[in-house]
Chain A
Amino acid sequence: MARDKNSEDFIGPIRRLLVGLLVLALVGLFLVWRIDSPRVERLRAATIDAVVPSFSWAMAPITGAANLVSDFQSYQQLRAQNQDLRRELQQMRAWREAALQLEQENAKLLDLNNVSLDPKLTVVTGVVITDSGSPFRQSVLVNVGARDGILDGWPTMDAIGLVGRIAGVGQNSSRVMLLTDTSSRIPVTIQPSGQRAILAGDNSLNPPLEFLEDATLVRPGDRVVSSGDGGVFPADLLVGQVALGTDNRLRVRLAADYQRLEFLRVLRSQPHERIGDPGNLLTPEAEFFGPAAVNPAALSASGFGDG
């Protein structure tokens, strides 16, 4: 013991100083993050961009083993699955007929209305590389980034429904914040009634609907689509179905398959042109005839109308 303590005496103070400096540097980084978060988040995106794609070879055996296990489980349940699929297939045949008829009708109506769907809504498809790795954050990393022209805030879908939005873009990868993340807030419309609400992620599989104006107009099974409110997302992207949670809150059963996100489509959503003052569209700015320099406050005070 005594010898150990003596031998540490040379190196002890210097080491303690260095460790102190190390801890100070780490705490300093944290403070810088707190003060100037976007800059450090860009550093984070760059770090992840540099590190994670090189992990893919290491991840292959893990995902392969997981696939093997799930395949084995599905072999075990083959018979039950087969019956389920047959039953579903019968239902789907009926739906297919209905869908074909509706498609024809829809095409006719669109033709009559001469509607052009938004031509700017093209997609970039990416593959999910990793998830967030933490039970507290719900996000995945996809292998498309600034190189492919991805921008922050673009909506991301799987084959069916909305999955999340781009939050953080690196050169070769970008992060998709899922709808289930606690900081995800999406304006939505509930379809037959047209009620507006906010879909607020709360780290559970079925996020609750908040700020519903009239909950009595909404019933479980209603379709939830994104609303174009606030220019956040393009309108009418399918989000899911309303469901009544066990806590008696209205929640959304998401249409996207969250169990295994593999390919994600990032929609190139261009911001719509905003019309700030509709009056100017019809006539240019009115020229002012009359006595110069009339005080508008005096005008409105004397009840002259809105000038």
Chain B
Amino acid sequence: MAEWADSKTWLNRLVFIALAFVLIVIDLAPLDTRPSLWAAPDVLLAATLAWVARKPSYVPVFIIAMIMLLTDFLFLRPPGLWAALVVVLSETIRRQHREFRNMPFLVEWGTIAFGIVAITVINRIVLAVVMAPEAPLAPTLVEMVATILVYPLVLVAAHFIFGVSRMSPGEVGSKGQVL
């Protein structure tokens, strides 16, 4: 993918990395150290999937892997597993992003929701199989549902703030290359 990138794409990659950095910092800020009863949505995951579904060239798989591995380390998750699952899911969506262009939004949302549910379930199954300590079930489900619900909002933000929207048919890069 990197061979086709022009300066605009590179700029947008940096914007995505900066966005991920801000989301991570907001998660890490020690505002309230009491345990919460419910879990906030995983906005970083929703943003990653939204970017892959809309402008896959802005989020190369290498960047996704690095960011997710970093959050695995920072958020005390088993390192590597969640990153691998997100990479696989993002690759699946990347392969379908041309079909998304012609589909109603609900189908896209359904596909994304199915993907999020699938990686959450696989994550739990793998952790159970290797007998690693698992997160409690209820907040995990709350986080999963919240992430699915927040996806359209992330899309709206991506469209109006970051200018990341569906490619129109026949759209090419600044040097006429295929995106």
Residue pairs across A and B with Cβ atoms less than 8 A apart, 23 shown, are A11-B3, A19-B87, A22-B62, A22-B87, A23-B87, A26-B80, A26-B81, A26-B84, A27-B81, A33-B78, A44-B73, A44-B79, A51-B70, A130-B28, A130-B30, A131-B30, A131-B33, A133-B74, A137-B135, A138-B33, A178-B33, A203-B136, A204-B35
Segment 1-60 of A: residues with Cβ below 8 Å from B: 1, 3-4, 7, 11, 15, 19, 22-23, 25-31, 33-34, 40, 43-44, 47-48, 51-52, 55, 58-59
In the bound assembly, the distance between CA atoms of A229 and B35 in angstroms comes to 27
Task: Answer yes or no: B161 CB below 8 A from chain A CBs.
Answer: no
Q: Give per-residue flags for B2-42: 1 if the beta carbon is below 8 A from chain A beta carbons, else 0.
A: 01000000000000000001101111111111111011100
Chain B residues, CB < 8 A from A44 = 73, 76, 79
Task: Answer yes or no: A258 CB below 8 A from chain B CBs.
Answer: yes
Contact across chains for B33 and A63 when beta carbons are under 8 A apart: no
Chain A residues, CB < 8 A from B98 = 1, 4
Task: Answer yes or no: B133 CB below 8 A from chain A CBs.
Answer: yes
Chain A residues, CB < 8 A from B30 = 63, 128-131, 140, 261
Q: Give per-residue flags for B101-143: 1 if the beta carbon is below 8 A from chain A beta carbons, else 0.
A: 0000000000000000000000000000010110110011001
Contact across chains for A259 and B80 when beta carbons are under 8 A apart: no
Nearest Cβ distance between residue B92 and chain A, in whole angstroms?
Answer: 11
Given contacts A26-B80, A55-B25, A260-B32, 20 further A-B pairs with CB under 8 A are A4-B98, A11-B3, A19-B87, A22-B62, A26-B65, A26-B69, A34-B78, A34-B132, A62-B26, A130-B29, A131-B33, A134-B27, A134-B75, A134-B77, A135-B36, A135-B40, A136-B139, A139-B76, A140-B30, A182-B136
Contact across chains for B139 and A133 when beta carbons are under 8 A apart: no
Chain A residues, CB < 8 A from B24 = 133
- Known contacts A26-B81, A44-B73; decide if A62 and B65 are in contact (CB<8 Å): no
B25, B30, B65, most chain A CB atoms within 10 A: B30
- Known contacts A26-B83, A27-B80; decide if A59 and B25 are in contact (CB<8 Å): yes
In the bound assembly, the distance between CA atoms of A156 and B178 in angstroms comes to 57
- Known contacts A26-B65, A27-B84; decide if A259 and B34 are in contact (CB<8 Å): yes
The listed residue (A23, A135, A139) touching B88 by CB distance below 8 A is A23
- Known contacts A19-B61, A178-B33; decide if A135 and B39 are in contact (CB<8 Å): yes
Segment 125-167 of B: residues with Cβ below 8 Å from A: 130, 132-133, 135-136, 139-140, 143
The listed residue (B22, B38, B80, B140) touching A30 by CB distance below 8 A is B80
Beta-carbon nearest neighbor of B84 in chain A: A26
Chain B residues, CB < 8 A from A15 = 1
Q: Which residues of A contact B (CB under 8 A)?
A: 1, 3-4, 7, 11, 15, 19, 22-23, 25-31, 33-34, 40, 43-44, 47-48, 51-52, 55, 58-59, 62-63, 66, 128-140, 178, 180, 182-183, 203-205, 258-261
Contact across chains for A48 and B73 when beta carbons are under 8 A apart: yes
Chain B residues, CB < 8 A from A25 = 80
In the bound assembly, the distance between CA atoms of A260 and B29 in angstroms comes to 11
In the bound assembly, the distance between CA atoms of A192 and B178 in angstroms comes to 77
Contact across chains for B33 and A133 when beta carbons are under 8 A apart: no
In the bound assembly, the distance between CA atoms of A29 and B40 in angstroms comes to 27
Chain A residues, CB < 8 A from B83 = 26
Contact across chains for A132 and B61 when beta carbons are under 8 A apart: no
Contact across chains for A59 and B79 when beta carbons are under 8 A apart: no
